[in-house]
């Protein structure tokens, strides 16, 4: 009897018939913090932290309010100079996977607000001169978004994604402000 009650409770909480898969993609402006120094001795100068990024997502709607999402986000890269024997150019690229819960709230019939919270596993690749190194880190992820229903299955989306990445013991903020589309199956 306990197993039947537990199964019924789980089925009710997941929303059964309202479960729905969706996919989305977006392009946007990104910001990747430059490192304070390189190789623990050379200070970084002339930081250009702005770039373009891309996001691809798949989600599973548990009910009208809650969903689980998995995304790949390429936050682009920052470019900088290192004053060692003249100026050596460098860059720091950040990309990775995000797993999060998404909570939705209808603002109007067509417009929905979305809040996201989860974890991001980020790869940071730093290049200076002719050498490069990559480090991985897992950090907290936070996102906000708006979805506008263009039709029953197609939505225009705008989002802000925030997390950080770690490299050589330094935590670097990364963020993306994007626009794209989402298709609900």
Nearest to 125 by CA among 117, 114, 116, 135: 135
pLDDT at 168: 74
pLDDT at 48: 87
* Fold of the domain built from segment(s) 19-184: Porin (2.40.160)
Residue 95 in 3-state DSSP? strand
User: Can you name the residues that pair with 73 across neighbouring β-strands?
Assistant: 55, 96
pLDDT at 40: 57
pLDDT at 91: 87
The end-to-end CA distance of the chain, in Å, is 35
For residue 92, CA distances in Å to 17, 124, 179 come to 45, 7, 24
pLDDT digits (tens, 9 = 90+) for 9-61: 444 444 444 569 999 999 999 999 887 766 655 677 788 889 999 999 999 99
pLDDT at 151: 95
Helix/strand/coil (H/E/C) assignment for every residue in 98-137: EEEEEEEEECCCCEEEEEEEEEEEEEEEEEECCEEEEEEE
Domain ranges of the chain: 19-184
The parts of the chain modelled with pLDDT lower than 70 are: 1-19, 37-42, 85-86
Residue indicated by tokens 């682009």? 76
Please tell me the distance from the alpha carbon of residue 183 to that of residue 154, in angstroms, as a whole number. 5
Taking a C-beta distance cutoff of 8 angstroms, is the pair 182, 146 a contact?
no
pLDDT at 18: 52
């Amino acid at each position: 009897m306990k197993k039947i009650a537990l199964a019924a409770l789980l089925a009710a909480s997941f929303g059964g018939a309202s479960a729905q898969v969706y996919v989305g993609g977006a392009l946007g402006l990104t910001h990747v913090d430059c490192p304070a120094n390189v190789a623990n001795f050379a200070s970084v100068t002339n930081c250009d932290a702005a770039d373009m990024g891309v996001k691809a997502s798949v989600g599973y709607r548990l009910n009208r309010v809650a969903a689980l999402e998995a995304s790949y986000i390429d936050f682009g890269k920052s470019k900088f100079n290192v004053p060692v024997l003249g100026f050596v150019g460098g860059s720091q690229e950040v990309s990775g996977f995000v797993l999060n819960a998404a909570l939705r709230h209808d603002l109007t019939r067509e417009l929905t607000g979305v809040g996201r919270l989860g974890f991001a596993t980020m790869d940071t690749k730093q290049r200076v001169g002719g050498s490069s190194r990559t480090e991985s880190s897992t950090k907290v992820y936070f996102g906000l978004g708006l979805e506008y229903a263009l039709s029953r299955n197609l939505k225009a989306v705008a989002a802000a994604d925030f997390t950080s990445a770690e490299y050589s013991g330094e935590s670097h903020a990364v963020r993306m402000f994007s626009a794209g589309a989402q298709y609900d199956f």
